[in-house]
Structures are given as C-alpha cells and as structure tokens.
C-alpha cells in the first residue's frame, strides 16, 4: 500500500467507510480535515469541515476547527462569519430556562 494513498483493496478509503457507518463521529471528521490541511489541501479540509458541520450541526469542535482553518489562511470575513455562528451556538446552549 502506498503511504500517500490509504485506499484499501475494495477501493474505498477506510475513513470514508467509517464515516458512512457513523456520520456523528466528530473525531473522524476532524482527523480527516487535519490530514488534508497538513498536506496543504486547504480547500479539501474546508469541504470536509463543511460536510462535518452539516452532519453534526451543533459541534463546537468542528466549528472551532473551521474558524482556525479560515483565520490561519487569512480569510477574515469567513472566520468572522463562523465566529458569529459559534457565538450564537454558545448563547443558545447556555440559555437558562426562565422560571
């Protein structure tokens, strides 16, 4: 097996297969995005984080990873949009019920 290509004998990337069985596995999404980011594939990392957020809408970790990706690559506008989304998520999750 080639080190740059983790496709198994079935022709399917094991990470993709794992996600198809458990799309709520936040760590798999984050690992995949980080691998792509470290390989310099920023657009692919962004796409993975977008898919992850669609699968796990209230994931603070995924949203923070997306903010970090955008801010590290100078995309302040997108980073600010994501920060606003994170702030809204935080406020909703921490809203105390009124008696």
Q: Which helix (DSSP H) or strand (DSSP E) does residue 81 occupy?
A: helix 76-93
Structure tokens at 47: 């796409």
pLDDT per residue, tens digit, the chain (99 aa), is 444 455 555 554 656 666 777 888 899 999 999 999 999 999 999 999 999 989 998 888 999 999 999 888 888 888 788 888 888 877 777 776 665
**3-state SS, one letter per residue, for 1-35:** CCCCCCCCCCCCCHHHHHHHHCCCCHHHHHHHHHH
Residue 16: predicted pLDDT: 66
CATH topology of domain 14-93: 1.25.40
Q: List Cβ neighbours of 6 (8 Å cut-off, separation of 6 or more).
A: 13, 14, 15
């Amino acid at each position: 097996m080639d080190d740059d290509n983790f496709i198994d004998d079935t022709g399917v990337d094991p990470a993709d297969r794992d996600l198809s069985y458990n799309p709520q596995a936040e760590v798999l999404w984050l690992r995949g995005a980080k691998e792509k980011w470290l390989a310099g594939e920023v657009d692919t990392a962004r796409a993975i984080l977008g898919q992850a957020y669609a699968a796990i809408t209230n994931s603070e970790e995924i949203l923070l990873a997306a903010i970090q990706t955008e801010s590290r690559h100078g995309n302040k506008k997108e980073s600010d949009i994501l920060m606003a989304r994170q702030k809204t998520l935080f406020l909703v999750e921490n809203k105390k019920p009124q008696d």
